[in-house]
Amino acid sequence: MTNIARDREPGDLDRARAAEARGLIDALRPCLPLMAHPRGRSLALSIAAARRRGADRRCTVTNIFDAGDAFGLMCQVEVGGGGAPAIFVAPIDELAFGRHPIARAVADYRRRRARVVGAS
C-alpha cells in the first residue's frame, strides 16, 4: 500500500489535518498579540466600518482556535486600541502577517487548505 492521500482512510486525513492545525496554533500562540492586515474583502470592509466609528488603524490578532474542517483556523481580531476595540472573528486565510517569521507557516497552511477545500 502506498502513502498517497487517496489510499488513506478518511480518518487518517482528519487526524493529519488536526495535527497540522494544532502545530500552527502552538507556533502562533507565543507570538500573540500579533499585528496583521486583512486579505479578504469582507474583513477589510468590517474593519473600515469600525474605523469610521473612531477606532485607530491597528489590527491585532489576540486569539486563535481551530473551527474544524468547515472553517479551519479562526482568529480573534481586535481593531483599535483603548477601552472599546472592535472585535471580529475571521479565518486565518483572510489575514496577512507581513514579514513576521510566522507568516511563511501561515502561507503554507493557507495553500494546503486551499488544495484540500478545492478537492472536496
3 state DSSP class of 59? strand
Confidence of residue 110 (pLDDT cuts 50, 70, 90): very high
3-state secondary structure of 78: strand
Interhelix angle 103-119/10-28, rounded to 10 degrees, is: 160
Give the range with max mean pLDDT: 6-20, 31-45, 69-83, 91-105: 91-105
> In terms of C-beta distances under 8 Å and separation of at least 24 residues, what long-range contacts does 55-63 make, across chains too?
55/79, 55/80, 55/85, 55/86, 56/80, 56/81, 56/82, 59/35, 60/33, 60/34, 60/35, 60/36, 61/28, 61/32, 61/33, 61/34, 61/35, 61/36, 61/95, 62/32, 62/33, 63/32
pLDDT at 44: 83
48-92, pLDDT tens digit by residue?
A: 877 766 555 568 999 999 998 889 999 999 987 677 788 899 999
Please tell me the predicted confidence (pLDDT) of residue 57. 55
Residue 120: is its pLDDT beyond 80? no
pLDDT at 45: 84
Whether 36 and 77 have beta carbons less than 8 Å apart is answered as: yes
What's residue 3's pLDDT? 47
Average of per-residue pLDDT values in the chain: 83
pTM here?
0.81
Instruction: Record the cell numbers describing residue 56, joined without a space.
Output: 485607530
